[in-house]
Amino acid sequence: MQQPELSGRIALVTGAGQGIGEAVARALADRGAKVAALDRDADGVTALEKEYGAPRVSAYAADVTDSAAVDAVVSVVEDQVGPIDILVNVAGVLRPAPVAELTDEDWSQTFAVNTTGVFHTCRAVTRRMSERRRGSVVTVGSNAAGVPRTSMAAYAASKAAATMFTKCLGLELARSGVRCNVVSPGSTDTAMQRQLWTDPQAPLRVIDGDPASYRVGIPLGRIAEPSDIAEAVAFLVSDRARHITMHDLYVDGGATLRA
């Protein structure tokens, strides 16, 4: 019988307690990886551990904005589960507001999680990956990083920074055999997305577009499910993508009309 695609791999997934992060953790575990599921809130990852059982999924609580905590949890994962082969950065926050109404705290916290958090995890993990001369990193960005969005300046800017950081890291690590890629979702049915919906017609406006906010719709006519994003991540961390690095894969149903 053929071994599962990611059998023998150790994966660290941030933001694994809900939404896209949870879907990624499930997708990798279902493909045979041992998953260290990391989240600031322990409840979601603890539930995953109970469902799958350790070491298939092991729960860890840490805040990616705290570099010391990230370094500590990476060391613990490597000691308890094994050398990390896969890192998926999913932890993120969204604080929508027009620029004139953005507070200093909104701006700084958005970058602390979405950008600096990616730096913390990548630095801690890829130091080890490069020494072992193997590994794969995927940062979950956003199509908002490439297309302006009203009331999303902080989020879009933070995701654009994380995207370019990941590509630069991929260039630095390429000769060591470590690959670094980005998956950029569009509108996805998560708690983060639903906080933007203020009335029952909001999902329809996402699909059909909203001229008042200069936003086109989704050509495929559906809002993504978290599993759609997880499938793209699972591909990029697998050997099927062994010659792909510094790539930004948009998974948005065609919403950005990318050439």
How many structural domains compose the chain? 1
Q: Is residue 155, in this structure, part of any structural domain at all?
A: yes
Q: Choosing from 52, 60, 155, 250, which is the catalytic residue?
A: 155
- The helix or strand, by DSSP H or E, that contains position 137, with its residue range, turns out to be strand 135-140
pLDDT average, residue stretch 132-143:
98
- Summarised one tens digit per residue, pLDDT across range 47-69 is 999 999 999 999 999 999 999 99
The sheet carrying 135-140 orders its strands as 57-61, 34-39, 10-14, 86-89, 135-140, 178-185, 248-251
Examine residue 205 and state whether it is found in any structural domain, yes or no.
no
Residue 60 among the catalytic residues: no
Q: Which residues pair with 12 in a beta bridge?
A: 36, 87
With a cut of 80, say whether residue 154 has pLDDT above it: yes
The pLDDT of residue 196: 73
- pLDDT of 104-125, one tens digit each? 999 999 999 999 999 999 999 9
- Grouping H, G, I as helix, E, B as strand and the rest as coil, residue 59 is strand
Q: Directed axis angle between helix 117-132 and helix 67-80, to 10°? A: 40
Work out the mean pLDDT of the chain and round it to a whole number. 95
- Return the pLDDT at 203: 81
Q: Is residue 84 part of a domain?
A: yes
- Write down the pLDDT at residue 205: 81
Average pLDDT of 88-93?
A: 98
pLDDT tens, position by position, 235-253: 999 999 999 999 999 999 9
Is residue 194 in a domain?
A: no
Which residues span the domain enclosing 120? 10-188+226-251
Dihedral sign of CA atoms 55, 61, 64, 68 in order:
negative
3-state helix, strand, coil in the chain (%, to 5): 50, 15, 35
Q: What is the CATH number of the domain that holds 148?
A: 3.40.50.720
Q: Is 175 a domain residue?
A: yes
